[in-house]
A = this chain, B = another copy of it.
Amino acid sequence: MSDQDPLVIFTPSGKRGRFAIGTAILDAARQLGVDLDSVCGGRGICSKCQITPSFGEFSKFGIDSKPDALSEWNSVEARYDDIRGLPKGRRLGCQAKVLGDVVIDVPAESQVHKQVIRKRAEAREITIDPAIRLLLVEVEQPDMHKPSGDFERLQAALEAQWQVKAEASLPVLARLQPALRKGKWQVTCAYHVPSGQILEIWPGYFEGPLYGLAIDLGSTTIAGHLCDLATGEVLASSGLMNPQIRFGEDLMSRVSYVMMNPGGDVEMTTVVREALNTLIGEITKQADLAPENLFDMVLVANPIMHHLFLGLDPVELGQAPFALALSGSLDIPAADAGLKMHPSARLYTLPCIAGHVGADAAAVALSEAPNLSEDLVLIVDVGTNAELLLGNKDRVLACSSPTGPAFEGAQISSGQRAAPGAIEHIRIGADFEPVFKLVGNDLWSNEAGFEDAVLKTGITGICGSGIIEAIAEMRMAGIVDASGLIGSEAQVGTPRCISDGRTHAYVIYEPADGPKITVTNGDIRAIQLAKAALYAGARLLMDKLSVDSVDRVVLAGAFGAHISAKHAMVLGMIPDCPVKKVTSAGNAAGTGARIALLNLASRAEIEATVGEIEKIETAIEPAFQEHFVAATNIPHATAPFTGLRAHTPLPDVSYNAASGPRKRRRR
């Protein structure tokens, strides 16, 4: 490059350089490190390197970009335009050559590392750069005088043309010779960057796309997203129940099953792998694909599901010191885990953080990136076990709290899964009368048309988020005191408070036939224990950081997505924080899996992050017990609720006092 050479400026990057006349735009881009895609390596086949020259006087760049600054539209471009069509104004970067000063725009779809914008404002963008790349290569033909295998010449071509070292399994090797001859010595390889393995070979130019699956393997449900690895687009989503439920509803009962039944681990491994294959079948069908189209899977799970899926006996996770067989990430052939995808497909599992804080929590950390946060964030993934992450860019702590299944509607008298017919939202008025909404129905129960709308499903129970709202509303209405006790009809002043053995229950709904839907004192006790465990975990982490409050709270998990922040705080599930600073991350573990599927660098990133996260084992921290005991009460909230309150319970309401709860609340 000399000062006399034409100047080339790329937008939007602003990268610039001088290049000899006749330099292809693709080569100029590569030399400057401009993010311009190419699968065919500049052969005018793939059209990935499309660029838009910008002509005119660019005063900000100080150059005049004239139409003759590029070589003329050539036959390769014309042929490509004929067959596939080039958008107006576009050129192929490998064909257009520099003749004078020029400004070149790289459209978003020509960038290798496309960004996928996530919906939530605080969420990071995902840069699409998957573990598997399509590489078109031109292979030297065999020469009797220099005998070498077709594969060795393919390896040499990949090294020369793409600077990668490649290996291949026997089945892929077996397809090489016909592919080379059919493709006239050009083939496209699906190249897995971390292992250096060629996963598949196509004759000539294969445009793709390749597909992958992000799986969140939960104790109760298995959720999968099928993604286009080139665009990041989610083409199908599917979920099914974890069939291991028949061996035990919660994780510890599954570990017990293994302890009691020799070979029980193998049995559970088999059923969960079968379930994944069922899911693979369903989700590919949904997307009009076949399992063989799937080349990569990223799977996240809690430690016990992680072990059971991988065929590792989880018994050590059931007892101190909760030793994982494997804590690191794994990148193996998917077939090794019995998965039926493309025969060469890969499986990546995220690392586990600790014996109780799994690869699912690592995925949450990847998605929510507390380690990059400026402010102090508490991330809570609520499930049978709640995983908590607390920290910022300086330091991140993690722990797990044994909340039990109450938040998921188990152990709740009228509890049920979040399905049509379940009460999901509830408000209790000053008259102690409830109004509620059902899952999958936008009408409140006192709105016109509600009854017609629920004819089909009926009103069948309360789901996890419903019970939280119900108890919080009961507390705010003065039906429940700080200790969690429901008042009697006489104490509270409503016939909805009925006798329930030695305690009371609050009737939300009484159908013409069938059982009443109530919140019993037993229900409140179960929720109190669960929320106290959750809160104590958060407090323990806050102690370790010597803080009394957090800047923001992220609720993760399907359950977290449906919890009302206000009610969770009334209940004392989470520490004090402005309500608007409590956000839901949806299925953050699934999102983390999807990030690791679409962006190779994120795998190394989360592996490093997990190594730096400080693990706190709640089981051996005396402070956890103290916080737990202190957190069983239900703090009282003044109305209007702002979220800015001390966690310390307000002076208790008491049904025996002259000033009843109702009066107190109105004060």
Interface residue ranges, A against B (CB under 8 Å): 141-152, 169-171, 173-174, 176-178, 310-313, 316, 320-328, 332, 336-337, 352-355, 615, 617, 619-620
Chain B nearest Cβ from A227, distance in angstroms: 25
In the complex, chain B residues whose CB is within 8 Å of the CB of A310: 170, 173-174
Q: A147's contact among B149, B177, B311, B617, by CB below 8 Å, is which?
A: B617
In the complex, chain B residues whose CB is within 8 Å of the CB of A321: 141-144
**Residues A324 and B174 in contact, CB atoms below 8 Å apart:** no
Chain B nearest Cβ from A297, distance in angstroms: 15
A8 CA to B348 CA, complexed, in Å: 52
In the complex, chain B residues whose CB is within 8 Å of the CB of A144: 320-322, 355, 617, 619-620
A321 CA to B574 CA, complexed, in Å: 73
Residue of B nearest to A332 (CB): B170
Residue of B nearest to A611 (CB): B148
Chain B nearest Cβ from A319, distance in angstroms: 11
Residue from the set A150, A177, A310, A619 with the largest chain B CB neighbour count within 10 Å: A177
A145 CA to B398 CA, complexed, in Å: 12
**Residues B151 and A328 in contact, CB atoms below 8 Å apart:** yes
In the complex, chain B residues whose CB is within 8 Å of the CB of A323: 142, 149-150, 177
Q: List 19 A-B contacts (CB under 8 A).
A: A141-B321, A144-B355, A144-B617, A145-B617, A147-B327, A147-B353, A147-B615, A147-B617, A148-B324, A149-B323, A149-B324, A150-B316, A150-B323, A150-B325, A151-B327, A152-B328, A169-B332, A170-B336, A178-B313
Residue of B nearest to A354 (CB): B147
In the complex, chain B residues whose CB is within 8 Å of the CB of A171: 311
**Residues B337 and A177 in contact, CB atoms below 8 Å apart:** no
**Residues B173 and A312 in contact, CB atoms below 8 Å apart:** yes
A176 CA to B316 CA, complexed, in Å: 12
In the complex, chain B residues whose CB is within 8 Å of the CB of A170: 310-312, 332, 336-337
**Residues A327 and B143 in contact, CB atoms below 8 Å apart:** no
**Residues B615 and A326 in contact, CB atoms below 8 Å apart:** no
**Residues B152 and A326 in contact, CB atoms below 8 Å apart:** yes
Chain B nearest Cβ from A303, distance in angstroms: 10
**Residues A326 and B149 in contact, CB atoms below 8 Å apart:** yes
Q: A150's contact among B141, B145, B174, B324, by CB below 8 Å, is which?
A: B324
A322 CA to B144 CA, complexed, in Å: 7
In the complex, chain B residues whose CB is within 8 Å of the CB of A324: 147-150
In the complex, chain B residues whose CB is within 8 Å of the CB of A327: 147-149, 151-152
Question: Assuming A152-B326, A323-B149, A355-B147, is B617 touching A177 (CB within 8 A)?
Answer: no
Chain B nearest Cβ from A622, distance in angstroms: 14
Q: A312's contact among B174, B336, B617, B619, by CB below 8 Å, is which?
A: B174
A111 CA to B355 CA, complexed, in Å: 43
A141 CA to B169 CA, complexed, in Å: 37
Residue of B nearest to A181 (CB): B316
A149 CA to B354 CA, complexed, in Å: 8
- Chain copies in the assembly? 2
Q: 20 other contacts beyond A145-B615, A147-B327, A151-B325, with CB at 8 A cut-off?
A: A141-B321, A142-B322, A144-B321, A144-B355, A144-B617, A144-B619, A147-B322, A147-B324, A147-B354, A151-B328, A152-B326, A169-B336, A170-B311, A170-B312, A170-B337, A173-B312, A174-B312, A174-B325, A177-B323, A177-B325
In the complex, chain B residues whose CB is within 8 Å of the CB of A145: 615, 617
Residue of B nearest to A330 (CB): B170
A327 CA to B148 CA, complexed, in Å: 6
In the complex, chain B residues whose CB is within 8 Å of the CB of A619: 144
**Residues B149 and A328 in contact, CB atoms below 8 Å apart:** yes
A328 CA to B153 CA, complexed, in Å: 11
In the complex, chain B residues whose CB is within 8 Å of the CB of A141: 321
A619 CA to B145 CA, complexed, in Å: 11
Minimum-distance CB pairs A-B, first 9: A149-B327, A142-B323, A147-B354, A149-B324, A144-B617, A149-B326, A144-B321, A142-B321, A151-B326
A337 CA to B173 CA, complexed, in Å: 13
Residue of B nearest to A613 (CB): B147
**Residues A174 and B311 in contact, CB atoms below 8 Å apart:** yes
In the complex, chain B residues whose CB is within 8 Å of the CB of A173: 310, 312, 325-326
Question: Assuming A151-B328, A320-B144, is B313 touching A177 (CB within 8 A)?
Answer: yes
In the complex, chain B residues whose CB is within 8 Å of the CB of A150: 316, 323-326
A320 CA to B142 CA, complexed, in Å: 9
A450 CA to B600 CA, complexed, in Å: 78
Chain B nearest Cβ from A291, distance in angstroms: 20
Question: Assuming A149-B324, A322-B147, is B353 touching A316 (CB within 8 A)?
Answer: no
A149 CA to B358 CA, complexed, in Å: 12
In the complex, chain B residues whose CB is within 8 Å of the CB of A169: 332, 336
A328 CA to B142 CA, complexed, in Å: 15
In the complex, chain B residues whose CB is within 8 Å of the CB of A148: 324, 327
Chain B nearest Cβ from A181, distance in angstroms: 8
Chain B nearest Cβ from A143, distance in angstroms: 7
Residue from the set A144, A178, A352 with the largest chain B CB neighbour count within 10 Å: A144
In the complex, chain B residues whose CB is within 8 Å of the CB of A354: 147
Q: A352's contact among B146, B149, B177, B332, by CB below 8 Å, is which?
A: B149
Chain B nearest Cβ from A285, distance in angstroms: 28
A142 CA to B317 CA, complexed, in Å: 11
A170 CA to B323 CA, complexed, in Å: 17
Residue of B nearest to A355 (CB): B147
A353 CA to B146 CA, complexed, in Å: 10
In the complex, chain B residues whose CB is within 8 Å of the CB of A176: 325
A617 CA to B619 CA, complexed, in Å: 73
A176 CA to B311 CA, complexed, in Å: 12
Chain B nearest Cβ from A269, distance in angstroms: 9
A619 CA to B316 CA, complexed, in Å: 65
A150 CA to B327 CA, complexed, in Å: 8
Chain B nearest Cβ from A189, distance in angstroms: 15
In the complex, chain B residues whose CB is within 8 Å of the CB of A316: 150, 177
Chain B nearest Cβ from A387, distance in angstroms: 13
